[in-house]
Amino acid sequence: MEFASLVKQAAETLNATIEPSDEGFYLTVPLPPDEEHEGEERSELIFVAHDSEAEILWIADDVGPYIEESVDLPEMLRVVHEANFARVSLSERDEDDVETVIVEARVPVENLSAAFLSQVISEVADVSDAVSLFMYLDEDDVE
């Protein structure tokens, strides 16, 4: 199945909105309600791109800047440990930039179904949401 069709079907399964970009697609994935955010509609913006050379799809979410003093790293790692596909990495866009915490997954394109892709996208969104809870230990750190 073609990359765009796969992503569109996965977005439909997740009730996500989809926005094409030059590099791939941005999906606004709704998050399930929880007790802490009762009554609030929450979502994560997930990026999906196709690496045609490696024949993989890259699914990612920029969670936020990594500021060592403001991250509960052990708790963050515990969340990611429970994930099947998602992992956390740091990315530095420019030499002067602060490193960014990214939750990402990579899956091979061969035999990839829209149903499986929607599971991976959903996991990246859920892990991103959970990781963001451990990004700021002090309310003053949140802008």
Report the distance separating Cα 66 and Cα 39, nearest Å: 29
Order of strands, sheet of 17-20, starting from the edge strand that comes earlier in the sequence: 17-20, 24-30, 43-51, 56-65, 100-108, 87-91
Single-letter amino acid code for the residue at 9: Q
Neighbours of 6 (CB within 10 A): 21
* Confidence bin at 136 (pLDDT 50/70/90): low
Number of domains forming the structure of the chain: 1
What would the pLDDT profile of 85-120 be if each residue is shown by its tens digit? Answer: 888 888 876 666 778 889 999 999 999 999 999 999
29: in domain: yes
Confidence at residue 74, expressed as pLDDT on a 0 to 100 scale:
80
Answer for the pair 45, 124: CB distance below 8 angstroms, yes or no.
Answer: no
Confidence at residue 134, expressed as pLDDT on a 0 to 100 scale:
77
131: in domain: yes
142: in domain: no
Answer for the pair 65, 100: CB distance below 8 angstroms, yes or no.
Answer: yes
Q: DSSP 3-state assignment of 67?
A: coil
**Domain containing 33 — which CATH number?**
3.30.1460.10
User: Which one is predicted more confidently, 52 or 16?
Assistant: 16
